[in-house]
Chains A and B, each alone.
Chain A
Amino acid sequence: MPQGASLSLRDLEKYYDGSGAVLGVSLDLEPGKFLTLLGPSGSGKTTTLMMIAGFVDPTAGEILVNGRSVTRVPAHKRDMGMVFQSYALFPHMTVRENVGFPLRMRGVARSEAEDRIATFVKLVGLEALAKRYPQQLSGGQQQRVALARAMVFSPSLVLMDEPLGALDRRLRLQMQEEIKGIQRELGLTVIYVTHDQEEALTMSDVVAVMDGGRISSYGSPRDIYERPQNRFVANFIGESNFIPCRLGDQGEARRCELISGHSVAIAPTDAPAGSSAVIFLRPERLRLCKADDPLPNKVPGRITGEIYLGDSSLYRVRIAEGVEVKVKRPNRGIGMPIVEGDELMVGWKTTDSVILQT
């Protein structure tokens, strides 16, 4: 039984002096789910979060928590816990006092408050530092205090605004795991804002990719990554190849023609015959192979460059005049060695490709 609430946004809009920051955001999130608002700066993700928290008044639209509108409820009565990027710990209070602050504001009885504080300080692993002041803690420790403080009062929603942005990579990865673990364990509903696609993919149940004040794509991390709904999302998350093509006739085994004149099979799409589109393919779904390989789609290419990544190598392959693709190949020490200038085939499975209209 998740303790978090459900969240619904209905056509949420925010205009500042006539210019729109958020232009109609709608979504429904089940209790206990981890939603990430992912987007570049200026995409409206932070403004959306601020409206949910009650710090920014929406120009139009509704915010529903457990089906009840909180659009006109002041911030301090919304019962949401927020984690700020700058931590926003109260410098004149110890770790215990910081974590206890929301309980004090709610008039929770002393003995119960003590118990809750102890539980959550322990949950984030700071028992030994409970009497310290924020300035005496490292960045990661401060972030844990902020986390405990945002969860200690069993809020309906936990809001996080780029909470790991100021930490170094190793610590960030560790905190991602911990936050995810606590969220699952307590069944919290989390709204997480970030511009880091890796963070969004590893932590979320649902990702909302935002662009220009709108949700441009909404779905599970796997859907968003493997079957992007448009070019912006495909481009924003991970490495992508876009191969221009002209679509063939509708039908069971639909095909399209590349610039180079080769014909390849494509997944079903509604787009009309003869229209131009791009085939979207992730670099790790492309294979370098020989002409006799059983892969259904193969086009010849020439290796024009290699980037060594440690666990894998990224090859640039020119498959037509002005068309290069990136192919990721794991460094397992087997198979043929590949060097620049090699003439090879680039192949893929039809189901790994997505047709995106231009």
Chain B
Amino acid sequence: MGTVKKFLYLNRTAPYGSIYAQEGLEVALIGAAFDQEVSMAFVDDGVFQIKAGQDSSGTGMKNFSPTYRALGDYEVTRLYVEKESLEQRGLTVEDLMPLTYEDEEDDYKEKPSIRIVDSTELADILARQDVIFNY
């Protein structure tokens, strides 16, 4: 395949109040098979999507949060989390799932996929993308 574009999936919504997060993750996983440069960003209530220890049993909805762990295997290794969104919700990086990937270029060392960025850095990252899917 010739064209390689920068794809970014911008997640803005909490995981269970609507289906955007779950179906958005499906797009990211399918998209990963197309050999594009893929990253994801989590802002606003979207940061709750990757919170550790999710228990959706009371809602009758499927807890799909383990699926985020597959992203590293699909070479989606850049998960940007907006610092301000975490802080506004009383969260820190320790509250998030320890999502990792194996770095092929560094002897398959396991490295964290989550990168905390502030809103200015995130704006720069968004400006560099070719395609942004927002949910």
Chain A bound to chain B: no
Where the two chains meet, the residues of B that have a C-beta atom closer than 8 Å to any C-beta of A are: none
